[in-house]
Structure 1
Amino acid sequence: MATQPSSSQPKSITLKSPVAPVDEKALARANEALAKLSLEEKVTLLAGSGTMTIAPHPKIGQDEEFWFSDGPHTVRPEVDRNNFNPGTCTTDHSTVLPTLSALAATWDVELAGTFGETLGLEARDRGKDVLLGPGVNPMRTPLNGRNYEYMGEDPFLAGQLATAYIKGVQSKNVAACVKHFAGNEQELERSSVDTYIDERTLREIYLAPFETAVVEGEVLTVMNGYNRFRGEYCSHNSYLNNQVLKSEWNFPGFVVSDWGSLHETVAGALGGLDVEMHAGEAIQYYKTPLVEAVQAGKVPAEVVDNMTRRVLYVMAKIGKLGDFERTPGVRNAPEHHALARKVATEAMVLLKNKQNILPLDKSKAGRILLIGSNADTKHVAGGWSAEGKPLFETTPLAGLRAYLGEGAKIEYIPGPFAEIYNHPPEDVIETIDSSDLEHGAAQKAWGIEFFEGSELQGKVFKSTFARQLSADWSEESPVEGLKLGEFSCRWTVDLKAPESGVYNFSLQAVGAARIYVDGELIADAWNKPANETLIGSASLDEGNIHSIVVEYAPSSEAGELKFGWRLPSALEPILPEDLAKRTKDADTVIFFSGNKVGFGRAHESEGADRPSMDLPEGEDEAVAAVLAARPDTIVVTQSGSPITLPWADDADTMLHYWFSGMDGGAALARVLFGEANPCGKLPFSMPRKLEDSPAHALNNYGPERVDYEEGVFVGYRWHDEKQIAPLFPFGHGLSYTTFEIATPELSESSISVGSSVTLRTTVKNTGTQAGAEVVQLYLGAIEPALPRPPRELKAFKKVFLQAGESAEVELTLDAKDFAYWDVDSSAWKVDSGDYTVELGSSSRTLGPAVSITLL
């Protein structure tokens, strides 16, 4: 249960929070340059000259354009100067490291620093000045399409890893950019959703990793989120940008919009946004309008000076102003590719190994059967702004073949395990979101027209766009002022057929629905609305543009619809019983189950949340059938977010693989055969079902206003409070060896409020193989002044040990580790009283608690 407040009044102190340091030399150089610029010249530093650039200013020693690049785990391939379309460069390959959820699973601060250094070197070689990463938004919902780009559910873990990453990037004269500030924990309607977070929760959970990145990491740039926060767009939000970031934390760098997140000139300038970025031809608010706003007295000249000074400060810090010898870059170096394998190896989480089936013996592997399309699916080119372009990508199938050699007997069954209707991929959609086209974004999308009434009659009530035809309006109508049953809608898209033949189309709908292809009605349930799936077919010609129209009217009780298609070349599904039979002759069976990067069910990507935690259609039944026939099956799960695994209790061997970068397949082969020992730990809880996550348990997830009513009880904090057993807890991860963590010894059992205390413990590898353990320290207040989680992660240390080896681990708890945010004083406060310290290998695998008293 949650630790409940005490009736007695404890002794309290208010902490003085540390702030970000300022480099006085860089500031002086910035001021010197600022004095040479006219108003018009200053403003050109505050808005992009292209999609990823700010114009040069030779008169101040900035002789080249100032370049941004996407890529929290790679340096993104080039895009067009005027829009987001792929560029024409053929030499923009870069090392693609595993995604940040995988990095978080390493729990390795030193490795995160090397990760950042590598990205910095690759960015320098590509001529980039700002790398748009890391992303640190704590995971609130498992459905967030960008969870795989972030660092899990715990703000302390994310803050420590992000700080090391940032220092690594910036050590190579490239600015890091922590994002997305703030309250941007979902992709669903991210450009308009309004998040309301109470102040204590905001400070303790959602701002905490940003504060660490700014104060300890000394990050040079911060990116705003697309969303609204407490009614105001983040890029206009003076509270976040001016009061918290720049004033309280003393942030000296610049705040940049996410591309297209600025909506108004004066609101942005006064709200603390320093740089407007968007698709090149769409950058509009901080060019002439900002000059005019200053001249009209709407924006004080000193505000523009401050904005410009911040940009110049960053340029000075990375050596972009004047004659400064910057770190030379290097790209696709052998050591960078080796790092990709190392991170992938350390990230893999051994979820279960009940019968010690792993590691496999090369000499006994025999005939190996790989099941599931993820065994040979490439992922790094997906995900939109997180896409990569490596020189090569090794899938698990390719990795195993290379590892085992030519004589290996490997059979591969990709599936599918059901008649899968996928949403048409973005590259075949020809319809453009016209609202974004005006801004140069050229986003592929379905057009949607809403009509008042259920018969698509009269004038259009509302028009909008969506990247995929998938919606659930059961909890909230998409049309303000109209309830379910009071409106109808028409979805339209033009598709370029990738092949010729007969296509099958599917529409899962609750209500009245019908599908047209090129004007011909191919499926109709308009006059007999129900909860059913419509199926229709039509012949399409490769390379031709075909029109798809879906008409829909929800019932008064529910509004759900989802569209998909099957190509003429789609494989016929394999029935579970047939799949089980095919496992009989194999010596080793490995089932690859999980998500992919992209859009739709069981897909993860920027721009859309997943509709559920479920695996692809038919996969649960297939895994269950294989496990029933072959209990020794190794299940390799792949995702950057929690997924539903209803068969997990029947599986003896499970390994989580993440989105593991360009050479993940090679790393996986080494882990499966014991050349490397898995040592990853989950950076988030894996709930058994979506409703075990607080946002969904409380029904506080949606497209318009989202109230974070669960407060500080997110992730494992929620599970501990509500006594919910997760499928796999936060911090969980096994090894091929075993470890013992001794009960910690405290330097003092009683300390004064505001002091620090040191804990020492001994970790011993009690097994027969070398391996690594992560010592995790959780702290809890016994009788707090207000409700607090029973335990919170406050320190951790990864220790590598040979078989039989022991090591002493020292961990420190500082004053702030005991603190909570006090709303009345708007400050961090520490109370006297008793606290418990627990050490263990996960949030649910803990040794005996020891007590410490703050006097």
Structure 2
Amino acid sequence: MTNKMFVVLGILLVSFFSNAQEKTPTYLDDTKPMEERVEDALARMTLEEKIAMIHAQSKFSSPGVSRLGIPEFWMTDGPHGIRPEVLWDEWEQANWTNDSCTAFPALTCLASSWDRDLAYAYGKAIGEEARYRNKTVLLGPGVNIYRSPLNGRNFEYMGEDPYLAAQMVVPYVKGVQENGVAACVKHFALNNQETDRHGVNVVVDDRALYEIYLPAFKAAVQEGNAWAIMGAYGKYKGQQCCHNKYLLQDILRKEWNFDGVVISDWGGVHETEQAIFNGLDMEYGTWTDGLTMGKTNAYDSYYLADPYYEMIKSGKVGTKELDDKVRNILRLACRTTMNSTRPFGSFGTEAHAKTARNIAEGGIVLLKNEHNVLPINLSKTKKIAVIGENAIKMMTVGGGSSSLKAKYEISPLDGIKNRVGDNVEVMYARGYVGDASGDYNGVKSGQNLQDDRSPEALLKEAIEVAKEADVVIFVGGLNKSDNQDCEGADRLALGLPYNQDDVITKIAAVNKNFIYINISGNAVAMPWVDKVPAIIQGWYLGSETGNAMASILVGDVNPSGKLAFTFPVKLKDNSAHALGEFGKEGEVNYTESIFVGYRYADKEDIKPLFSFGHGLSYTTFEYGDISVDEKNMNEDETIKVSIPVTNTGKVAGAEVVQLYITDVKSSLVRPEKELKNFEKVFLKPGETKTVNFTISAKDLLYFDDAKHSWIAEAGKFKAIIGASATNIKDSVKFNLVK
């Protein structure tokens, strides 16, 4: 071949590859800017394809555009694990054999770890599981504020404080989305009760909305860059939250500049025109499922399906809003299924089990420990009595949409037996019968917990076993049945169900080495608190429940969790029940305004059963004197607050150092103090570390609803360091100067 022929061949090859590159559509090239890809794809789509994309085609999926190579969108429930597969048109199980997931602890446990690194690890692990199952969107996490201890869905959320929830949701979202899976933060907004959840209208002042109920969502959007938001079921200002102009357009889009997708909760859409104009992008679960309407494809009857299409064809509405919705959905595709660098994920791995256990151990809270009953000294213990239904009952099944088909779940009883070994005899007594069922949406626990013995016989057995033991561990609390910790219904009372109070009181009377473990996602009343020397808040801990619990009980792990919400002594100590309304149908007034949780307890000088931020350790910590580097700060400056903390005990441990701010004098009434920062510091015996917090004008703001703006007033402030909201260590004053 001559040189001239080589040159001609080279020109032809260059021309071929150049033409091939030119023919590659921009929307398929993920090296191109995302907005160029979105606009290119949008321009190629037909009206029918656009309409199809904005509503479901099955229980958990919506179509892409197969003609253009745009994949389908697949959703999965969370936020504690990846939901098992269901049939296309039904809630019944698909009966796959490879969809048993890792069950992670409930989000109340994660929030109570006060550990941002654990929140990121949680998101990364659950995101890997979602990606492996080829999901586009994880329907979680939930960040609705813990307003009342009776809300049946509190266990899915991150506590009563907006700052804590905001700090924990951001790393969770980032961890999930590193896997090319969108985190869908829910339920936006004001989803604080399950009673009449589809119709209740919330009446709340703007100040409480912005200071209490929105900050975690705002952080997820602006700091976590969440790619999806789920609307709530109820109403705000008389409009359904899934197509609510004030929430979705005025706040989410205009104020926060959200560029992701807004997804309806399943069945949360009620009207076509509002769904068109008020900011909803993707409609799921509308009640036209199956073939009950006599149509071949019932999904065509969704509000954003044929009804929308007909309005466009008739000229009643234009296509601007439709194009905006599709743009948001195409942006989701570019970030997820059309991202060529998207990792492959992993599922049910040992690494995920380890992460689940770390979160469980980090979030368990030691509430009380008189006479050093804990940790259990195995060298001096021959017999342990484990009592209570929750010691054996699987908790990953049930509770609503977060119900899981777990790969495994280690019960508290089995975890304790495995840890103490053959040298210690572990005896078990039921003590009470609560809920023997183990079936939710076709997922069966496989347990047969039926017990027909009388309450008297069960109590007698438990007392006899307790008398024989060196240590008694009572594992009780709530479960995920209706009217407990469960979606769709609220709790009926603050007290424990199934006559547990009487059982606990009588067993504690026969053995002074009594440990009560409360399994719940909510606060409960404890009328016997003075009679029980040791109390642990055990949460719903997922697959590694028993292992994590045993490690805390015997001291392999030093407890470091702190409560993410207040335990009131009685219901009227909670502001939603003392000042506001809760559990009503039709309309609920948040008359307590910004005084939620510890803010209300401070205001009314109410002593809680256990305060927000409370949690004990097997070691002791000594706080030094607080110091501030400057007494005065301008709006564009910061000051540094420091305090030394020393581990004065004999074992390594972690302390959560909490920074609260007080506005000494303000134009509007403010809480006595508000959480503004925290640091979880790990210390060896005898070790001292100085914890530093930076305070800026942002930490001093309140929302002036008359001006609809955030205000930081000049004047005196106080920085408060505490080990909880009631265990204050020191404070220092400083000034904001304008």
Q: Could you tell me which amino acid in structure 2 is paired with residue 291 of structure 1?
A: Y
> Number of residues paired by the alignment?
691
Residue matched to 1:719? 601
Residue matched to 1:832? 714
Alpha-carbon offset, residue 59 of structure 1: 3.9
Where in structure 2 are the equivalents of 1:401-420 lying within 5 Å? 401-416=417-432
Residue matched to 2:619? 737
Residue matched to 1:655? 536
Alpha-carbon offset, residue 303 of structure 1: 0.7
* Contact map agreement 1:350 1:680 (CA 8 A) in 2: yes
Residue matched to 1:43? 51
Where in structure 2 are the equivalents of 1:187-266 lying within 5 Å? 187-266=194-273
Residue matched to 1:821? 703
- In 2, the alpha carbon distance for the partners of 1:24 and 1:759 equals 46
Where in structure 2 are the equivalents of 1:28-177 lying within 5 Å? 28-62=36-70, 64-177=71-184
Alpha-carbon offset, residue 115 of structure 1: 0.4
The answer as to 2:567 corresponding to 1:686 is yes
Of the candidates 499, 504, 522, which is equivalent to residue 641 of structure 1? 522
Residue matched to 1:851? 733
* Contact map agreement 1:754 1:830 (CA 8 A) in 2: no
- In 2, the alpha carbon distance for the partners of 1:740 and 1:294 equals 69
Measured at CA, do residues 237 and 612 of structure 1 come closer, stay the same or move farther in structure 2, by a change above 3 Å?
Answer: same
RMSD: 2.1
Residue matched to 1:269? 276
Measured at CA, do residues 255 and 68 of structure 1 come closer, stay the same or move farther in structure 2, by a change above 3 Å?
Answer: same
Residue matched to 1:755? 637
* Contact map agreement 2:471 2:511 (CA 8 A) in 1: no
CA deviation profile, 1:389-422 (whole Å, cap 9, x unmatched): 22211001010111122443111111227xx6x6
CA deviation profile, 1:506-549 (whole Å, cap 9, x unmatched): xxxxxxxxxxxxxxxxxxxxxxxxxxxxxxxxxxxxxxxxxxxx
* Contact map agreement 2:141 2:185 (CA 8 A) in 1: yes
Which runs of no fewer than 5 residues in structure 1 stay unpaired?
1-22, 428-441, 444-497, 500-565
Where in structure 2 are the equivalents of 1:267-416 lying within 5 Å? 267-278=274-285, 281=290, 283=299, 284-318=302-336, 320-321=337-338, 324-416=340-432
CA deviation profile, 1:527-582 (whole Å, cap 9, x unmatched): xxxxxxxxxxxxxxxxxxxxxxxxxxxxxxxxxxxxxxx97845554475764444
Residue matched to 2:502? 621
* Contact map agreement 1:741 1:840 (CA 8 A) in 2: no
CA deviation profile, 1:798-817 (whole Å, cap 9, x unmatched): 11111111222221223221
Q: Could you tell me which amino acid in structure 2 is paired with residue 817 of structure 1?
A: D
Q: Could you tell me which amino acid in structure 1 is paired with residue 64 of structure 2?
A: P
CA deviation profile, 1:790-832 (whole Å, cap 9, x unmatched): 0000000111111111222221223221001111221111101
The answer as to 2:663 corresponding to 1:781 is yes
- In 2, the alpha carbon distance for the partners of 1:125 and 1:278 equals 24
Secondary structure of 1:369 counterpart: strand
Residue matched to 2:588? 706
Residue matched to 1:547? none
Alpha-carbon offset, residue 85 of structure 1: 2.2
- In 1, the alpha carbon distance for the partners of 2:243 and 2:92 equals 27
- In 1, the alpha carbon distance for the partners of 2:408 and 2:462 equals 31
Measured at CA, do residues 61 and 744 of structure 1 come closer, stay the same or move farther in structure 2, by a change above 3 Å?
Answer: farther
Where in structure 2 are the equivalents of 1:462-501 lying within 5 Å? none
Secondary structure of 2:76 counterpart: strand
Measured at CA, do residues 60 and 852 of structure 1 come closer, stay the same or move farther in structure 2, by a change above 3 Å?
Answer: farther
- In 1, the alpha carbon distance for the partners of 2:242 and 2:468 equals 60
- In 1, the alpha carbon distance for the partners of 2:140 and 2:728 equals 33
Alpha-carbon offset, residue 228 of structure 1: 0.9
Secondary structure of 1:733 counterpart: coil
- In 1, the alpha carbon distance for the partners of 2:131 and 2:53 equals 21
Q: Could you tell me which amino acid in structure 2 is paired with residue 611 of structure 1?
A: L
Residue matched to 1:493? none
- In 1, the alpha carbon distance for the partners of 2:646 and 2:451 equals 58
- In 2, the alpha carbon distance for the partners of 1:243 and 1:575 equals 58
- In 2, the alpha carbon distance for the partners of 1:695 and 1:56 equals 44
Alpha-carbon offset, residue 846 of structure 1: 1.0
Alpha-carbon offset, residue 848 of structure 1: 2.1
Higher helix share: 2
CA deviation profile, 1:210-265 (whole Å, cap 9, x unmatched): 11111111100000001011211112211110010001100000101000100111
- In 1, the alpha carbon distance for the partners of 2:660 and 2:491 equals 31
Alpha-carbon offset, residue 423 of structure 1: 10
Measured at CA, do residues 39 and 216 of structure 1 come closer, stay the same or move farther in structure 2, by a change above 3 Å?
Answer: same
Alpha-carbon offset, residue 850 of structure 1: 0.6
CA deviation profile, 1:25-77 (whole Å, cap 9, x unmatched): 22222122111111211111111111111113134431x32111001011111
* Contact map agreement 1:753 1:831 (CA 8 A) in 2: no
Secondary structure of 1:853 counterpart: strand
* Contact map agreement 2:232 2:242 (CA 8 A) in 1: yes
- In 1, the alpha carbon distance for the partners of 2:106 and 2:614 equals 19
* Contact map agreement 2:394 2:438 (CA 8 A) in 1: no
Q: Could you tell me which amino acid in structure 1 is paired with residue 600 of structure 2?
A: W
Q: Could you tell me which amino acid in structure 2 is paired with residue 193 of structure 1?
A: V
- In 1, the alpha carbon distance for the partners of 2:199 and 2:438 equals 24
- In 2, the alpha carbon distance for the partners of 1:59 and 1:762 equals 63
Alpha-carbon offset, residue 94 of structure 1: 1.1
- In 2, the alpha carbon distance for the partners of 1:238 and 1:776 equals 37
- In 1, the alpha carbon distance for the partners of 2:475 and 2:143 equals 28
Residue matched to 1:537? none
* Contact map agreement 2:659 2:678 (CA 8 A) in 1: yes
Q: Could you tell me which amino acid in structure 2 is paired with residue 289 of structure 1?
A: P
With a CA cutoff of 8 Å and minimum separation of 6, indicate the structure with the bigger relative contact order. Answer: 1
Alpha-carbon offset, residue 660 of structure 1: 0.5
Residue matched to 1:20? none
Secondary structure of 2:401 counterpart: helix
- In 1, the alpha carbon distance for the partners of 2:623 and 2:40 equals 56
- In 1, the alpha carbon distance for the partners of 2:704 and 2:68 equals 46
Residue matched to 1:15? none
Secondary structure of 2:526 counterpart: coil
More displaced 10-residue stretch of structure 1: 152-161 or 623-632: 623-632
TM-score, length-scaled by structure 1: 0.78
Residue matched to 2:22? none
Alpha-carbon offset, residue 757 of structure 1: 2.2
Q: Could you tell me which amino acid in structure 2 is paired with residue 29 of structure 1?
A: R
Where in structure 2 are the equivalents of 1:542-561 lying within 5 Å? none
- In 1, the alpha carbon distance for the partners of 2:529 and 2:317 equals 59
- In 2, the alpha carbon distance for the partners of 1:595 and 1:623 equals 14
* Contact map agreement 1:682 1:733 (CA 8 A) in 2: yes
Of the candidates 589, 593, 599, which is equivalent to residue 472 of structure 2? 589
Residue matched to 1:766? 648
CA deviation profile, 1:418-459 (whole Å, cap 9, x unmatched): xx6x698876xxxxxxxxxxxxxx99xxxxxxxxxxxxxxxx
Secondary structure of 2:327 counterpart: helix
Q: Could you tell me which amino acid in structure 1 is paired with residue 214 of structure 2?
A: L
* Contact map agreement 2:414 2:546 (CA 8 A) in 1: yes
Alpha-carbon offset, residue 106 of structure 1: 0.4
Measured at CA, do residues 370 and 55 of structure 1 come closer, stay the same or move farther in structure 2, by a change above 3 Å?
Answer: same
CA deviation profile, 1:9-39 (whole Å, cap 9, x unmatched): xxxxxxxxxxxxxx99222221221111112
Instruction: Work out the percentage of aligned pairs sharing the same amino acid.
Output: 39
- In 2, the alpha carbon distance for the partners of 1:132 and 1:814 equals 34
CA deviation profile, 1:257-294 (whole Å, cap 9, x unmatched): 00010011111111111110116546411111111222
CA deviation profile, 1:474-498 (whole Å, cap 9, x unmatched): xxxxxxxxxxxxxxxxxxxxxxxx9
